[in-house]
Structure 1
């Protein structure tokens, strides 16, 4: 970048609406360049810089153990644990330079695998027993419920068998978002090993090629969904051991499934006993001091991304998970909170000025650029996805062009669109023009992950799409021989929403675990209010496997939809064309990837002789339709019939076919070679 200081102006060529903010973009890129030079000097790269885990924490040497910690404002540190019967005086650390402390323990048996440790930190006249910052595992005491660090140094290192695996950058992502703990049907917390054995084969069979794991970084409160991290280098002990996680990822890779980590660098838990807050006795070691360091909505601590030591801690964390656990990339959580001093709360991002103001956190933008640079250096095929509700321009533009460097952004407006539509509009009032606009409007040259419903909608206080559509009828009318109008409508609309979303909503697709078969009810983690029950913190796979229930229809549809879109590379096509928007009768026809799609959203009317524009002459055949019996449909479409194009008198004399389109169905047609039928 230093060789061509004007290269980042390319972002303005890509999005001319950014021209008035050229000086702001220059300010960002100057911050990037100067901060990078200050951190790395002239020759170092991010991969060489981000090695905190190799220096700090516990390391087994030939003749003993070395333990190092960063606590610049502490007065004294003492290592305590099972090895010294928790005596706070026998093993003091020595202070070295730059706020570092260290101690050498002679003998390789001085610390044993799975032994518990803490460090007593004396600062400002207070003594606190803390969990080491770079610990790889923590465990909870059954009696006191206190957490402690645990030495993880098994006799035999895990043997990986995935050297040939990497994500093909040309292949669109079909993401299965999941929470290991609630992936089991039992009323309890699922484990990594149970997930590997029981859930990975389901994901593979359903056609998903990417697994997105939530709640992997250690969090003391199970019900936080993993978004209040306490120990950034530790695998969540709720689900098993570090080696159990490695086995899961290794197995996924052998199945051809990539694995993304839900990375939480937007904030940290405020807990002192379990987390990193006030480790050296100050509130500003990792976070902004005072009010600026507190998230007003989440009750968590906010990182100071302008501090070199914080950047080092977080970038080292990114490299650690990529190299130690072979993750294939990240979904960055809470990016909107990082980008703005107001955390994006209560702000409507209605025009570009909202992205370029005094409220924009340039230090956070620089950190995210560094993070993407580092990830490319460590693994050039790794994928990064930004969860940003604000729509920051340039999020998925290369850093060298003036962007933030992510591969994808989540299409967060799409689930909101569906909830708003279902809540506020009767079926007959849905706008086809609005659906087309909302599903196809994206920032130029920026890729999106489309999804029809978020994991947040599955939580108590909200509803999944299927539960919102069907309500209490799901409890009593999901038998296949029960002809419930409410359930029939729910299934038909659910299928339509998912198919049009995967077709138009992004260059990748995401589904949250269980939504592929319309999992009923909500997620409610064990808490005092429900008598610590796990009844709603699980996935009832047996509902989908019961051949007497309609959940199977939705499961079949999701699997066949994924496979059709994937094998025909519909997401990779960039030639989407609106063929006809029928606002009066609620139909939408489009062309993409060589296929013609006809969505009939009409709640009651089927059209036996609908004029469907195809944009070119030829013979067409239906290759996919949602009205098949295996999807809960009525099999009203002849999949063998050949449709010949003609002039459509009621469609402005366009070229097309005349076809039967049942209400609330989607049909996909393909032009066929005359010699093949």
Structure 2
């Protein structure tokens, strides 16, 4: 329990963690302060994480210890990050002050066009901050806006280097989109010409295309200074961003940070032990928590995405819950699955596709994508190039009939992207040009290609020519984005695959208010194909990849209305109507099922067990097929056995006292056989050696295929008193009624033989029936004596 400090204090001796401080009075007091702030949110979202609370509590401790040190020194984490107000070029009292933090530098000077590139010396303080103050010149700042400047530093070894300042000013930020559709772009290769494009060219030529294509966010690659252009921006030489307007953060290679072995040469099975143990770099986790805490404090509208292949639970839960604080993770396994499938001969498994797309934690958001820049690089292939390869050079003109290769490639390119955005996540990502099937690969200028830009550019004109099929692919992608604008399916929590047919190669899925039908068959068009409708009514086409406009054959009519019809025996888990009258007829068992469901709801009203954080399975018996569980103040006994009713079954009691039945699925009212007596009191008895991790136990009757819920009368005295009054008024009538029916049933020879065959241990006519009656009256000698 969170209020107990004994368990977290045991963390101080956690084996193998030498960084943990020694247990002492001062540490214990400090730890108690930290422990009182431990989060509960991630355990409510995923109770299985409690098994690893020791590790997660230690991670939280490292985060809070570091944050507390920052708060003590700077006042707050946000204040600590306000360095731009003091560092870099700032205006103070009518003068310009420049500060740079370089504690290891031997000397620092400022150079730039403001001084004719002559060195202006800076002085160092005790904290390693170099500073120079420049008076205004003729009433104007000494360093005018848009000046070009650098910082000249002398390294400890004596040599000099020129560096850009790490500090820039803020400007207006973009808003957070309702639906996150990311366009992954690289400014340098965005020109159609064979050169390195500028930001101005990107702004004028590419941003309008991105907006027109329906994307709501831009992920710019390689915006930090890097020495080698061909590194795609990964060889960072200075963490300098061109503008603070870039408020999205993509943490690259998070897996390498999270684990001491960097996740290399090992798979992640999904077992929680893969993520919470000595191989986890807790300091890295604490850093990511601090970073995400800071980002969301300063910029609540910011979006932070983790590139993680491990699938660590709680990665995308808020820091306040004890998570690492990311908003999204990249669905990195999806592109690998499409690469694998495209190497086969279209014998694609529908289950395999759905499993890859839906394999994610639904309490944590995922960015789905079919391909990114990784697949576009030389040595790999985009989906379009894998599907059509060299045929793209001559077969993409609409002035000639499409070859079988082109026809197949155009169709599958659209279907693959559509099914991925529908089932692959809660956000979408596309690398620039892939939306219209950009041909070939990316190959940066290098010695091996004679420093050519031929394959390091984007041929935007391909997507604007009416006679090219690239235009058709781009139009379909734009239609997908518009579909999300109209129906908000991407952010909807409703996602349901209602049908997978391996032989027909058909998938039917619901996402948001839409119904999608995907046909992957290379041969078959299905006419009059029956699909499950989510709701009764009239349905119309909202998007059709086979439309002429998108390079299809126009076989689907947009003029047709599709009327749903009732399915009495259900169809793919869907009805088209509700037969409410079934639940109101006393002679029908539907009424009994409805009454039991209502009783379940009333049980929650009385005991608030559904919202309770206390949930504990105390017993699981595979042979007996029995589960015993605690939820809130209630004790539940589930018997899944098709044959055995257990009389005098011992179960662990959560607390000492008198327990009574609160709900019984075997009751006559609910279609049962009335074997459990509501008049019986069950007294718990002490267990010196503990029983199923509890100090008390009691005996109960557990009928076959039933659930019985018990409550402790000391916790609900008014309810118990009302029950006592009801017992006094009714006397033994209920017992008589409950005993009469089984006796009448046993008079039937066929029933007696069947009943005996099912379970010889069930109470029968005569002595066993009398014993059952005694048990129903609560006469359990040992329990009463012990009590």
Q: TM-score, normalised by structure 2?
A: 0.64
Among 635, 638, 642, which residue is 2:557 paired with? Answer: 638
Among 119, 122, 128, which residue is 1:99 paired with? Answer: 128
| Aligned position for 1:537 | 456
Matched, 1:166 2:195: no
Among 131, 148, 160, which residue is 2:163 paired with? Answer: 131
Query: In 2, Cα distance between the equivalents of 1:42 and 1:525?
Result: 46
Q: Secondary structure at the match of 1:233?
A: coil
Asked if the contact 2:498–2:572 (Cα under 8 Å) also holds between the matched residues in 1, the reply is no
* Displacement of 1:233: 2.9
| Aligned position for 2:637 | none
Matched, 1:370 2:290: yes
1:500-537 alpha-carbon deviations (Å, 9 max, x no partner): 11111111111111001000001111111112111111
Query: In 1, Cα distance between the equivalents of 2:348 and 2:363?
Result: 29
Q: Secondary structure at the match of 1:609?
A: coil
Q: Secondary structure at the match of 1:374?
A: helix
| Aligned position for 2:378 | 460
| Aligned position for 2:306 | 386
- Larger radius of gyration, structure 1 or 2? 2
* Displacement of 1:620: 2.4
| Aligned position for 1:29 | 60
| Aligned position for 1:671 | none
1:78-108 alpha-carbon deviations (Å, 9 max, x no partner): 5566777877xx8554332123333445555
Among 338, 344, 349, which residue is 1:418 paired with? Answer: 338
Q: Secondary structure at the match of 2:492?
A: coil
* Displacement of 1:649: 10
| Aligned position for 1:502 | 421
Query: In 2, Cα distance between the equivalents of 1:622 and 1:656?
Result: 21
* Displacement of 1:615: 4.3
Structure 1 gaps, min length 5:
137-156, 236-320, 658-677
| Aligned position for 1:597 | 516
* Displacement of 1:174: 1.1
Structure 1 pair 629/24, CA: closer, same or farther in 2 (3 Å)? same
| Aligned position for 1:120 | 153
Asked if the contact 1:611–1:651 (Cα under 8 Å) also holds between the matched residues in 2, the reply is no
Query: In 2, Cα distance between the equivalents of 1:442 and 1:538?
Result: 34
Among 438, 442, 450, which residue is 1:523 paired with? Answer: 442
* Displacement of 1:126: 2.7
State how 1:132-531 maps to structure 2 within 5 Å: 134=166, 166-168=175-177, 171-235=178-242, 325-350=244-269, 351-423=271-343, 425-427=344-346, 429-480=347-398, 481-531=400-450
Structure 1 pair 187/589, CA: closer, same or farther in 2 (3 Å)? same
| Aligned position for 1:53 | 84
Query: In 1, Cα distance between the equivalents of 2:371 and 2:91?
Result: 46
* Displacement of 1:650: 11
Asked if the contact 2:150–2:162 (Cα under 8 Å) also holds between the matched residues in 1, the reply is no
| Aligned position for 2:648 | none
Q: Secondary structure at the match of 2:529?
A: strand
Q: Secondary structure at the match of 1:223?
A: helix
Query: In 1, Cα distance between the equivalents of 2:484 and 2:572?
Result: 31
Query: In 2, Cα distance between the equivalents of 1:651 and 1:482?
Result: 44
| Aligned position for 1:275 | none
* Displacement of 1:645: 2.8
Matched, 1:623 2:542: yes
Query: In 1, Cα distance between the equivalents of 2:547 and 2:99?
Result: 63
* Displacement of 1:230: 1.8
| Aligned position for 2:776 | none
* Displacement of 1:445: 1.1
Aligned length: 539
Q: Secondary structure at the match of 1:623?
A: coil
| Aligned position for 1:38 | 69
Among 517, 527, 540, which residue is 1:608 paired with? Answer: 527
* Displacement of 1:598: 0.9
Asked if the contact 1:120–1:128 (Cα under 8 Å) also holds between the matched residues in 2, the reply is yes
Structure 2 gaps, min length 5:
3-32, 577-787
1:5-56 alpha-carbon deviations (Å, 9 max, x no partner): 3652321221233232111100110011111001111882222111333333
Asked if the contact 1:618–1:644 (Cα under 8 Å) also holds between the matched residues in 2, the reply is yes
1:579-622 alpha-carbon deviations (Å, 9 max, x no partner): 11111211111122222211111111111122212244333222
Greater RCO structure (CA 8 Å; 6+ sep): 1
Structure 1 pair 73/192, CA: closer, same or farther in 2 (3 Å)? closer
Asked if the contact 1:647–1:654 (Cα under 8 Å) also holds between the matched residues in 2, the reply is no
CA RMSD, 1 decimal: 2.8
| Aligned position for 2:640 | none
1:366-401 alpha-carbon deviations (Å, 9 max, x no partner): 121111111222221221111112211111101111
Query: In 2, Cα distance between the equivalents of 1:135 and 1:37?
Result: 25
Structure 1 pair 107/582, CA: closer, same or farther in 2 (3 Å)? same
Structure 1 pair 434/651, CA: closer, same or farther in 2 (3 Å)? farther
1:526-567 alpha-carbon deviations (Å, 9 max, x no partner): 111112111111111111112221111101110111101221
